[in-house]
Amino acid sequence: MQTLSYQGLKVSKFLKTKTLDSLVVEAPLQININKEAYTVVMRTPNNDLELIRGLLYAEDIYKNSSSLKMSLEKEQDNIPQIINVSIPTKFLGKGYLNKRTLLSVSSCGICGKKELKDIKVNGDKLTEENLFSSREIHEMFIQMTQNQPTFKDSGGSHAAAIFNKNYELLTIKEDIGRHNAVDKTIGDLLNKKKLKEANFLLVSGRVSYEIVSKAFIAKIPVIIAVSACSSLAVDFAKEFGICLIGFTRNGKMTIYSNSSYLKKN
């Protein structure tokens, strides 16, 4: 269930009419690790297992290639409220020590971080360059747009899509939160053991530093956004060797870092 119908009063000049709108669902999901509460994520219910897998991967809590054992602890109206993840202690990453103790809302990338140093991401700069043209970028966006049923129904969800080097769609997910949508796509590819094929990450909204860090951890060298990019996102992209593109719409786009990825002709 990704949308619900709500009644509203539509006002247009001097006319008032009752309307029934589809609204994207936003509901809390508590994630437990080994029966202990880890974080609460505000998300759109669907692909919860992929969301958890992608989030724990990005947070350096579980990066083992084996599947995760998850169990539903509580639900209401067929919507999961608490899911427990069982992880052997020897497989718990360093990120587990930096637990999120605060509510992680759907639009916040750093909620729950304890200290400023916790937002830093370490790793070797991405060096692989795969050239592309603006035409190929816009064709991928058309594919993503055609696969957003929740947005078409409600107008209130974000989407993230991942393509391979041949511009083939590997996965696309929707959520009320931009970061959640990215986690869902990465989690989906982890479960399918296809993350190494990821080359382009497309997002329907703006790009913050955390989306860049998620792409970097997943070794995705190109991020393409329909909207703006933050200053820190650009700084991180330059440091990480990621090609970051914003304002991709109406046949135009702005490349903020590593423009050498773009074909000359």
Sequence-distant (≥ 6) Cβ neighbours of residue 126 within 8 angstroms: 216, 219, 221, 240, 241, 242
Residue 94, marked binder: no
Token pair belonging to 30:
């508590």
Return the bridge partners of 121, or none. Answer: none
Return the bridge partners of 75, or none. Answer: 80
Q: 125, 241 in Cβ contact below 8 A? A: yes
Residue 249, marked binder: yes
Residue 250, marked binder: yes
178-192 and 48-58 helices, crossing angle to 10°: 90
d(CA 116, CA 100): 13
d(CA 265, CA 263): 5
d(CA 202, CA 238): 18
Q: 58, 121 in Cβ contact below 8 A? A: no
d(CA 99, CA 93): 11
Q: Is position 111 annotated as part of the catalytic site?
A: no
Sign of CA dihedral 146, 150, 155, 159: negative
From the list 108, 111, 229, 243, the catalytic residue is 108
DSSP code at position 105: -
Q: 6, 20 in Cβ contact below 8 A? A: yes
Q: Which residues have a catalytic role annotated?
A: 108
List, as residue ranges, the binding site. 247-252
